Amino acid sequence: MSTTCVVGILWGDEGKGKVIDYLAAEADYVVRFGGGHNAGHTLILPSGKCVLHLVPSGIVHDHTVNVIGNGVVVDPVHLVGEIARLRERGLSIDAGRNLLVSERAHVIVAAHRAQDQWAEQQRGKGRIGTTGRGIGPAYADRAGRLGLRVGDLIRPASLRTALERFIGEKNAWFHAAGLPGLDANELFDGLSATGETLRPAIVDAGAVLRDAHKAGKRILIEGAQGCLLDVEHGTYPFVTSSHASTGGAFSGTGLPPHGMRVIGVCKAYATRVGEGPFPTELKNETGDRLRTAGNEFGSTTGRPRRCGWFDAVAVRYAGELSGAAELTVTNLDVLKGFDPLPIAVAYRLADGRRLDRFPAFDLAEVQPEFETLPGFQEDLRQVRRFQDLPVAARRYIETIELRTGLPVRTISVGPERQQVILR
Ligand code: GDP
């Protein structure tokens, strides 16, 4: 199968960047299909740490073409800045050669950020925990037929028409919310200028990818966030505003729904950033220890991540939903010294009913039922073969396979490229 899709299984931050980095060595195209610069992948390269937000992780391999697909919402000012930062870091980015942006992708402007932050403030206690970067409002405008597209940035007449529509409706809303209105000329000038910088990269990316697929090129699709943040299948309303599961990989790239190998990535435990239900969360000292051991602070926002035990109910659900044929389990090294190691295998509702499927409602009330396994004390970062893992670590992985119904083909035992066990 020439197309592989890597998706996060829970709420993001599973270490997809590292997985994509080593898979990209064998890919011709690396494609992002959703989210915006609220996502972030951290790569630990031989040359040091590299954090990516919008640019696909394949950019560190010079032979790959990196595509920002139509399903992504693009803040063009951020993108220009990210390209400049990556170039300063010594990466070669040649717009039109190894970086393409879909002309159909929607654009985030400052007004979206203002709207995002305003809405989050209004929600008060019911806040979602968005990054305030305008992602949600840009997707809402796309669905509301108000949006600006990347292709507009290099087509003055089209940009004028799009802005007229956008500003008419936005200003009515902004005035009602007591926010300052938008100026069409100012927006036009700013967007045209960034459009000029990005011009060589702006293409019909869907057509490029379909041609590549027909020609048998190896396409690697990288998910952002995770299946449980999917706007429809996730823990609504505490979700992102796009389709973060595999369904989004087709609509967000323009590739037809042909067979693809789906790899689900999850940590050896669970984390979540922002608000929303999290059945196996540890709101205690063990949770704090996991956060410190795993350095669980967001790569984009620095926000501390909530930490908890491995949740086989959630992983099973997301595995089915995403079509994952296998799991990559990351951060197994982090569990060193945690003993015992509980794995959630079912949930119990307040009225005593047992659930072994992940529910759409009542998730905040469920109590997980755990199977408890012995922990291990050894440092795993130098281990490269499954049979060299301590017995307890092997048993832990085998129990994950049993309880999720998915084979664990790859285990990551540290942030660096070579710290990986392939089975
Ligand atoms: P992504 O958005 O899914 O790519 O996840 P992030 O990049 O935000 O977070 C993953 C973090 O975990 C990064 O800092 C990685 O360097 C680090 N990481 C990845 N795999 C491992 C692993 O197996 N062990 C440890 N200790 N850290 C890892």
Residue-range domain boundaries for the chain: 3-103+201-262, 107-197, 267-422
Q: At 381, is the pLDDT very low, low, confident or very high (cuts 50, 70, 90)?
A: very high
Which range (20-24, 155-159, 204-208) has the least confidence?
20-24
- At 180, is the secondary structure helix, strand, or coil? coil
Place 1 in a pLDDT band, splitting at 50, 70 and 90: low
Strands 408-412 vs 29-32: parallel, antiparallel or unpaired: unpaired
pTM (whole model) above 0.85:
yes
> Is the pLDDT reported for residue 300 higher than 70?
no
Tell me whether residue 63 is exposed, middle or buried, using C-beta atoms within 10 angstroms of its C-beta: 0 to 12, 13 to 18, 19 or more: exposed
CA angle 86, 55, 189 (to 5 degrees): 85
For residues 148 and 195, the answer to whether their CB atoms sit within 8 Å is no
Lowest model confidence (mean pLDDT) among 147-156, 172-181, 276-285, 287-296: 172-181
Write down the mean pLDDT value for the chain.
Answer: 93
Give the position, in ligand 1's atom list, of the atom nearest the Cα of 224. Answer: 2
User: For the residues 306-312, what does the mean pLDDT come to?
Assistant: 98
Residues 3-103+201-262: name the CATH superfamily.
Adenylosuccinate Synthetase, subunit A, domain 1 (3.40.440.10)
Residues with CB under 6 A from ligand 1: 8, 12-18, 40-42, 44, 299, 330-331, 333-334, 412-415
Q: Is 61 a catalytic residue?
A: no
Look at the domain 267-422 and name its fold. Answer: Adenylosuccinate Synthetase; Chain A, domain 3 (3.90.170)
Each residue's pLDDT tens digit, 22-50: 899 999 999 999 999 987 788 887 778 88
Ligand 1: centre distance to CA 66 (Å): 21
Among the listed ranges 166-180, 316-330, 394-408, which one has the minimum average pLDDT value? 166-180
Looking at residue 96, what DSSP letter applies? T
Each residue of 47-75: pLDDT tens digit? 788 889 999 999 999 899 999 999 999 99
237, with CB counted inside 10 A (0-12, 13-18, 19+), is exposed
The pLDDT value recorded for residue 50 is 86
pLDDT of 51: 87
Substitution candidate for ligand 1 out of 10, 41, 42, 292 with most atoms within 8 A of CB: 42
41 in catalytic set: yes
> CATH classification of 107-197, choosing from 1.10.300.10, 1.10.579.10, 1.10.630.10, 3.30.465.10?
1.10.300.10
| 15 Cα: distance to centroid of ligand 1 (angstroms) | 4
Burial class (CB in 10 A: 0-12, 13-18, 19+), 355: middle
User: Closest residue (by CA) to atom 26 of ligand 1?
Assistant: 414
Cβ atoms of 100 and 65 within 8 Å: the answer is yes
Nearest ligand 1 atom to the CA of 8 is 3
Which pLDDT score, from 0 to 100, does residue 289 have?
Answer: 97
Q: What percent of the chain has pLDDT over 70?
A: 99
Give residue 415 CA to ligand 1 midpoint distance, Å.
6
- Which one from 41, 53, 112, 233 is the annotated catalytic residue? 41
Q: Which residues contact 131 (CB under 8 A, 6 or more apart)?
A: 38, 300, 301
